[in-house]
Structure 1
Amino acid sequence: MAYGTPYKEEDILRYYTDIRHGHAPTQELYDDLAERYRDIGGISPLARITDEQAAALGSSLNSKNEDVQYQVYIGLKHIEPWIEEAVVEMENDGIKEAYGIVLAPQYSGFSTQSYHSRAQKKIDEIGSEIKLTKILRWFEEPKFLDFWANQIKALNHSFTDEQRKNAMYVFSAHSLPVKILKDGDYYPQEVKRTAELIAERAGITNFVVGWQSAGRTADEWIGPDVLDLTRELSENNYTEYIYLPVGFVAEHLEVLYDNDIECKDVVAEIGANYHRLEMPNTDPLFIEALTDIVMKARETNL
């Protein structure tokens, strides 16, 4: 399951309206979002990447299992194919055993839980016998952590001693409304732990955790925002800023615009060098991580 993205410019309005719980955006909000898509080339590559991730995961699972046949279904939160449509498709195909995985490593009752809830609600609604195992969090999966740590090691190796001494690694994830903290949501702690585990594997100590892509609503959102954080860090005269959007698993608007345009502009503004590590996408190590996650979930149920 994944967030979803417009497939073409004509989809932006209905997509944005769904995100806003059925309320159409103002013209100003719509124009701002449409312009951001134009700035990254017209549309996000997320839909294509999600399809490729699903295909790669299915191929990997079936190559490692002879006793069972896996079929991967895609269910999206804000555009078709909807999560509910995926459930109906599974029912029509006679599926009895399903494993729900959200393409977001850290769990939040506010965000990722809603994917699982919608899937289970549809199963119950149609009276299906599908047993859904909900994979709630997977940020501690070793190969997922290695994917990021290996990149840090490679970049560090390419740096001069001076660059290494003046490098700051900025880990980030999608901000959520501060109100989730009142309900004891562990999301911020899980993002922080993700950064700590990757840094430990990579052997670095010069890192911070920031938040990005906050919604344009009246709610207060978790901070510090990565742009503000970068400006604050500039007082320390770092020359290399390396961004790791570890709350995401694919290149999409939040990475290609919020990181590669906005963060890059701020880094240029303070006279430093911008680096952004590669996203998981369909990297073999990341696909192996997803494969291991699903197989471990199934082994637990056997």
Structure 2
Amino acid sequence: MAYGTPYKEEDILRYYTDIRHGHAPTQALYDELAGRYRDIGGISPLARITDAQAAKLQASLNKTQTDVEYKVYIGLKHIEPWIEDAVTEMAADGISEAYGIVLAPQYSGFSTQTYHSRAQAKIDELGADIKLTKILRWYEEPKFIAFWANQITALNAQFSAEQQVKAMFVFSAHSLPVKILKDGDYYPQEVKKTAALIAEKAGITNYVVGWQSAGRTADEWIGPDVLDLTRELSKENYTDYIYAPVGFVAEHLEVLYDNDIECKDVVAEIGANYHRLKMPNTDPLFIEAITDVVLKARVK
């Protein structure tokens, strides 16, 4: 299950309206979002990447074991194929054992839990004989941590000794409303733990955790925002800023615009060098990681 993205420019309005719980955006908000898509080349590559991730995961699961045949279904939150469409298709195919995995490593009752709830609700509505195992979090999965740590190690090897001292690694994830903390949501802690595990494996100590892509609402969102954080860090005269959006698993608008345009612009303003680690996408190590996540869930 994943967030989803417009497939073409004509989809932006209905997609944005769904995100806003059925309320159409103002013209100004629409123009801003449409402009961001144009700035990254017209549309996000997320749909293509999600399809490829699903295909690679299915092939990996069926290659890794022979006990059962796995079929991967895609269910999206804000555009077709909807989560409910995936469940309906599963029921029609006679699936009786299912594993729900959200393409977001850290768990939040505010966000990722809603994917699982919608899937279960549709199963109940159909009266389908499907046992759904909900994979809630997988941010500690060793190969997922290794994917990021390996990149840091490789990049540090290219840096001079002076650069290594003056390099700051900025780990980030999608911000969520501060109100989730009142309900004891562990999302911020899981993001910070992700960063700590990667930093430990890569052997770095110069890192911070920031938040990005906050919604345009009246709510207060978790901070510090990566742009504000970068400006604050500029007082320390770092020469290189390396961004690792560890709350995401694919290149999409939030990475290609919020990191590669907005963060890059701020880094240029302060006279430093911008770097962004590559996203998991369909990297073989990442596919192995989510394969392991599913197989471990089945063993339980």
Distance 1:298 1:223 in 2: 36
Task: State the shift of 1:86 in Å.
Answer: 0.1
Task: State the shift of 1:104 in Å.
Answer: 0.1
Residue equivalent to 2:266: 266
Deviations 1:173-206 (A, max 9, x none): 0000000000000000000000000000000000
The CA RMSD over aligned residues, in Å, is 0.3
What aligned pairs does 1:181-220 form with structure 2 within 5 A after superposition? 181-220=181-220
Residue equivalent to 1:168: 168
Distance 2:160 2:50 in 1: 36
What aligned pairs does 1:236-247 form with structure 2 within 5 A after superposition? 236-247=236-247
Residue equivalent to 2:54: 54
Distance 1:133 1:179 in 2: 28
Distance 1:184 1:63 in 2: 40
Task: State the shift of 1:106 in Å.
Answer: 0.1
Which amino acid is 1:130 matched to? Answer: I
Residue equivalent to 1:95: 95
Distance 1:65 1:205 in 2: 39
Distance 2:39 2:172 in 1: 22
Deviations 1:105-146 (A, max 9, x none): 000000000000000000001101100000000000000000
SS at match of 2:217: coil
Deviations 1:192-250 (A, max 9, x none): 00000000000000000000000000000000000000000000000000000000000
Note the residue ranges of structure 1 that are not aligned, 5 or more in a row: none
Distance 1:13 1:153 in 2: 42
Distance 2:183 2:129 in 1: 32
The structure 1 segments of at least 4 consecutive aligned residues displaced by more than 3 Å after TM superposition are none
**TM-score (ref. length: structure 1):** 0.99
Residue equivalent to 1:82: 82
Which amino acid is 1:179 matched to? Answer: K
Which amino acid is 1:135 matched to? Answer: I
Distance 1:129 1:269 in 2: 57
Report how many aligned residue pairs link the two structures. 300
Task: State the shift of 1:67 in Å.
Answer: 1.2
What aligned pairs does 1:1-302 form with structure 2 within 5 A after superposition? 1-300=1-300
Which amino acid is 1:148 matched to? Answer: W
Percent identity between the two aligned chains? 84
Deviations 1:243-285 (A, max 9, x none): 0000000000000000000000000000000000000000000
Distance 2:192 2:64 in 1: 33
